[in-house]
């Protein structure tokens, strides 16, 4: 093998190795994008519950919901993680329920992003004790 042939062979091997590395490192164009997720919250006195909706089952079944007590402006550093619950699939919707917390205040729920699902945050609701 001549020096010129050896150089061409080496260049071809390096080129193929580089192309292979690029193919491995490039995300697959067939990978499904994260599914939109919507988390809701409602307050019945101091009982807080809600739903997680999505077109993708994995985004609504067994999803961890984080319940925050809003202190001051929403999303401020002083908001407090108050409770968590895990959704259960009911009629195609992920349902969560913290039960009666017995605590008044402004609350909102969030779900974190997962490899298959987008994150979301609910509107703020006010929980108040029933004075009856």
pTM: 0.74
Structure token digits, residue 62: 């067994």
The dihedral through the CA atoms of 72, 74, 80, 84 has a sign that is positive
Q: What pLDDT, on the 0 to 100 scale, is given for residue 22?
A: 46
pLDDT exceeds 90 at position 7: no
Residues 65, 101, single domain; the answer is: yes
Residues 3, 56, single domain; the answer is: no
Residues 19, 47, single domain; the answer is: no
Residues 78, 123, single domain; the answer is: yes
Number of domains, the chain: 2
Residues 64, 108, single domain; the answer is: yes
Condensed to tens digits (0 to 9), the pLDDT of residues 69-125 reads: 999 888 778 999 999 999 999 999 999 999 898 999 999 999 999 999 999 999 999
Q: What pLDDT, on the 0 to 100 scale, is given for residue 75?
A: 76
50 or 2, higher pLDDT: 50
Residues 49, 89, single domain; the answer is: yes
Q: What is the DSSP string of the chain?
A: --HHHHHHHHHHHHHHHHHHHHHHHSPPTTSPPPBPEEE--EEETTEEEEEEEESSGGGTSS-EEEEEEE-SSTT-TT-EEEEEEE-EEETTEEEEEEEE----EEEEEEE---SSB--EEPPPEEE-----
Condensed to tens digits (0 to 9), the pLDDT of residues 25-80 reads: 445 557 789 999 999 999 999 999 999 999 999 999 999 999 999 998 887 789 99
């Amino acid at each position: 093998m001549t020096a010129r042939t050896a150089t061409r062979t080496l260049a071809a091997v390096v080129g193929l190795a580089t192309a292979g590395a690029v193919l491995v490192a490039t995300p697959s164009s067939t990978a499904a994008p994260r599914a939109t997720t919507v988390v809701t919250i409602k307050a019945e006195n101091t009982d807080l519950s809600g739903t997680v909706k999505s077109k993708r089952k994995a985004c609504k079944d067994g999803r961890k919901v984080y319940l925050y007590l809003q202190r001051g402006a929403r999303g401020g550093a002083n908001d407090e993680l108050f409770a968590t619950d895990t959704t259960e699939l009911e009629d195609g919707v992920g349902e969560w329920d913290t039960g009666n917390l017995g605590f008044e205040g402004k609350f909102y729920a969030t779900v974190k992003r997962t490899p298959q699902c987008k994150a979301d945050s609910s509107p703020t609701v006010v929980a108040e004790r029933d004075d009856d």
